Chain A
Amino acid sequence: MIELIEGVLLTMLAAVTIAIVRQHNLFGVVILAGVYSFLMASVLIVLDAVDVAMTEASVGAGISTVILLATLYLTGSREDPPAHTPALPLFVATVTGAALIWGTFQLPGFGVAHSPIHDHVAPAYLEASTKHEMPPNVVTAVLADFRGYDTLGETTVIFTAGIGVMLLLRGRRKRQHGSAKEASDT
């Protein structure tokens, strides 16, 4: 049953990807990207990664779509005809894709219980969180407690991204205010 659901979801993901590539109206591309994110969130639910699915649905399908639509409002939604032949990008994409697929041959099989990731720190986290009566959702215990430094770093990344966008998009108006002030002073 689970194979059937996965098969349907992954087929739809591939179909949406092809539709995105073939679509020339950028508004359509943004909406299809939102559909892609919701399908990805469903795949993550099938994989029992509910926390990640929630993040994918809210950030990928929600916030990203809104911000991309706001960008389209600035740039217009028609795609310009390509300036060069797509031969070089096609070559780069094919080689990178082939390298990634070749890399997956080294990965342990799907759902194998004794893959390296399950034999290293994961059992220690599970054991410690049961022993000390930590929160029942181990994901929260790992994120906010065992790996608190990592999450501090991630929060700093979000902070940096926000500051960067604000500097890029709001900087010009500040300067305009400044020059207007200087003009009125002189």
Chain B
Amino acid sequence: MKLDLILRVGTKLILPFILIFAPYVHFHGDYGPGGGFQAGVIIAAAIILYAIVFGLDAAKRVAPQGLIERLVPLGVLLYASAGLPAMLSNKGRYLDYGVFGHHFAHAHEWGILIVETGVIITVSSTMLAIFYAFADRSRR
């Protein structure tokens, strides 16, 4: 499917900014609006835009479907396992971030970062997996 030249060049110009904006929203979530959820949606939106303009096969070369579908449970596992260190070392309850460092603010910053990384992985891969599922079906 070949679309308008302006559309294709415009998309290529916008994509790097969208892809940089996502980690900005993710890591800047401690200071401004945003966090793992919003950043995950932005990453998924970037790849969906690429798929719409350049075709589904091109998008699947960038983000293979098998990999994306494996990442969906991986994010939840990362989030859930972030609670285990405190429990296993008897230094706190489940999802207590105190074990991630000596200083309170430091330890909790690490805890929040790990948990948000779990969220960004699950959200971005779920949105993409749903899009792939719909797009695959419309081709048959």
Contact = CB atoms under 8 A, between A and B. Distances in A.
Contact of A149 (B95, B130, B140): B95
Contacts of B52: 66
Interface string A124-163: 0000000011111101110111001101100110110111
A140 B29 contact: yes
B33 A67 contact: no
Contacts of B118: 155
B37 interface: yes
Contacts of B36: 144
Contacts of B97: 145
Nearest to B134: A70
A17 interface: no
Q: Per DSSP, are chain B's interface residues mostly helix, strand or loop, or mixed?
A: helix
A55 B37 contact: yes
Nearest to B94: A149
Contact of B35 (A51, A70, A158, A173): A51
A152 B79 contact: yes
Interface size class of B (residues with CB under 8 A): 35 or more
A70 B37 CA distance: 23
A71 B133 CA distance: 11
A169 B137 contact: yes
A51 B39 CA distance: 11
Interface residues of A, number: 43
Considering residues A71, A132, A156, A169, which has the most beta carbons from chain B within 10 angstroms of its beta carbon?
Answer: A169
Contacts of A161: 126, 130
Interface in A148-186: 148-149, 151-152, 155-156, 158-159, 161-163, 165-166, 169-170, 173
A137 B33 contact: yes
Nearest to A171: B133
B138 A136 contact: no
Interface of A: 50-51, 53-55, 58-59, 62-63, 66-67, 70-71, 73-74, 132-137, 139-141, 143-145, 148-149, 151-152, 155-156, 158-159, 161-163, 165-166, 169-170, 173
